[in-house]
Amino acid sequence: MNRILIPALLLSILSGYSYGKSPKLVLQVTVDGLRADLIKRYASHYGENGFNYLLREGVVYTNAHYLHANTETIVGHTTLATGATPAVHGMIGNVWYHADTGELGYNIEDATAPLIPTRKHSRKGAQLDPAQTRARSSGRSPLGILVPTFSDILSKSTAGKAKIFGISGKDRSAVAMAGQKGTAYWYSTDNGDFQSSSYYMEQYPDWATSWNGKRLAEKMAGQKWALLHDASHYKLAQQDDRPYEIDLKGYGRTFPHPFGALQHPLFFTRVLVSPEGDRLLLDFAKALVEAEGLGQDDVTDYLSISFSSVDAVNHFFGPSSLENEDVVVQLDRTLEELFTFIDQKVGLDNTLIVFSADHGMADMPEYAIEQGKDAGRLYSDEVLAMAREISAELFDSENIVKDFFRPFLYLDGVALASKKLSRKKASAAIARALAKKPGIGGAIPSQEAMASEASGIAGAIRNNIHPQRVLSVISYRADSANPVSKPSVSRFAVPSATPGSKILATALS
């Protein structure tokens, strides 16, 4: 097994649903960051009809793995949506090089598709997602996805009659699954509403306006995230108060976690970093299914629901925390409520459920150290500094290294040209030196990775590079010494956790 890949559990449920007739509804449920082993770890807590419904009635793929190296949210979701690797669908990372502007940008950003405001006045919440901070506009659309999604093909095969929706706590998770033909809505950490962009609509339908008008997220003001059961029932009861957990400026490291005042810049983020984030999404899903009449006729409809709270909790508390145990256990109840609702409205006999994670999650480095592993934190700015130091040593210029956004390091075409350096040689030399640095699992020039026929990590990296997009970066500061026929940006993949190497810190993906 390729150890860089974190297994994703994939379940298809065909309960009662018989082959030969089309389902009225395809319900694709994705749980962001739900590492496969976590489902088993907490199994003693589950009710009959959440995870257990899927495990009992479904086809369970226990040895399913992503074929790509950069197991991040947009990459995994687009792979689930299209069945293709990022080398084909183009979503190679949460952040990648946008040839049209010559800058790094956010995966689904689209300045021509601005967000539609859900209310007249809205405060701006604090942004903790480093990928979002690279977005050059707030507009969002699926146009960066280069192949059709399953939902696009469903639309085509039903002559546009299928109703198609993707909803999530995260924009990228909603947009990828809805494809070009569906409609996406996602949670706003500015105001707790579910929002969309002008790519999908000119204005919100009445039901969405009315749902947002309930201001359910705001009702969490002054409330707390408390454990579902008594602490003594939990496997990880002793793993609540650990110095390396991130307390979100007063959300705290231990239960109960207070959401605080509505005015706090992290208030709506804290709600997402709790089981309430998944419950809000469920409530929005119910309103959508009712108002849009999903699964009510013989044309197969599609609804993707991507739950984000497990991932959010993992990022701040780690996947081996009491917070993780409780958010997964409470998700089990949320899933049960979802399946019960779908049974009442559509009938589970008429519904095909597909369930998966978009990626797993490494344990926090400090926890891994406690477990006797060789681990540590390495931040992006440290990798960038290392690469610049190498460049200065090798080529007497640190400017050759343009930028780093994990897992890709970018070289500067102009700086290379001014030093009369070949991109190929410079990439190879920097990669070789970088791979020897403490904390780096490996580094490989993109050209080398693309030419590789190897399996394992090299194969997973190859599957994660879109040749056209690597070629498309040619326009990046193209000049006479850096002709358009050669890529002017090199990418090195730095695996996040390889055997024998230290573990890179994970930030919000």
Which range touches Zn ion (CB under 5 A), out of 72-80, 146-154, 263-271, 294-302? 72-80
Which range touches Zn ion (CB under 5 A), out of 10-18, 69-77, 190-198, 456-464? 69-77
Beta-ladder partners of 323 = none
- Closest distance between Zn ion and the C-beta of residue 399, in Å? 34
SS3 string of 163-183?
A: CEEEEECCHHHHHHHHCCCCE
One of 10, 28, 32, 220 touching Zn ion (CB under 5 A): 32
Regarding 73 and contact with Zn ion (CB under 5 A), the answer is yes
Nearest to 26 by CA among 14, 8, 10, 9: 14
Q: Which stretches of 240-364 are assigned E, i.e. beta strand?
A: 257-258, 301-307, 351-357
Measured from the CB atom, is 141 or 308 closer to Zn ion? 308
The Cα 321–Cα 437 span in angstroms is 30
- Closest distance between Zn ion and the C-beta of residue 172, in Å? 8
Residues 340-359 that bind Zn ion (CB under 5 A): 358
Nearest to 225 by CA among 254, 245, 196: 254
- Closest distance between Zn ion and the C-beta of residue 361, in Å? 9
Q: How is residue 61 written in tokens?
A: 């793929």
The residue behind tokens 């939902």 is: 151
Measured from the CB atom, is 319 or 445 closer to Zn ion? 319
Report the phi/psi class of residue 335: left, alpha or beta, with left for phi > 0 and alpha for psi in -120 to 50. alpha
> Residue 443 half-sphere exposure, CB side, CA atoms within 13 Å?
25
Which range touches Zn ion (CB under 5 A), out of 27-35, 134-142, 144-152, 446-454? 27-35
CA dihedral sign, ordered 387, 489, 358, 168: positive
Residues 348-407 that bind Zn ion (CB under 5 A): 358
Regarding 278 and contact with Zn ion (CB under 5 A), the answer is no
Give the CB-nearest residue to Zn ion: 73
The residue behind tokens 């008008």 is: 213
Measured from the CB atom, is 80 or 220 closer to Zn ion? 80
The Cα 290–Cα 284 span in angstroms is 10
Distances (CA, A) of 24 to 103, 270, 344: 43, 36, 13
Regarding 190 and contact with Zn ion (CB under 5 A), the answer is no
Measured from the CB atom, is 306 or 446 closer to Zn ion? 306
Which range touches Zn ion (CB under 5 A), out of 115-123, 281-289, 307-315, 484-492? 307-315
Measured from the CB atom, is 32 or 292 closer to Zn ion? 32
Which range touches Zn ion (CB under 5 A), out of 277-285, 306-314, 323-331, 364-372? 306-314
The Cα 357–Cα 100 span in angstroms is 32
- Closest distance between Zn ion and the C-beta of residue 247, in Å? 22
Measured from the CB atom, is 245 or 311 closer to Zn ion? 311
Measured from the CB atom, is 32 or 403 closer to Zn ion? 32
Measured from the CB atom, is 8 or 387 closer to Zn ion? 8
Size of the site for Zn ion (CB under 5 A): 4
352 SS3 class: strand
Which range touches Zn ion (CB under 5 A), out of 70-78, 125-133, 153-161, 258-266? 70-78
The residues that touch Zn ion, with contacts defined as CB under 5 A, are: 32, 73, 311, 358
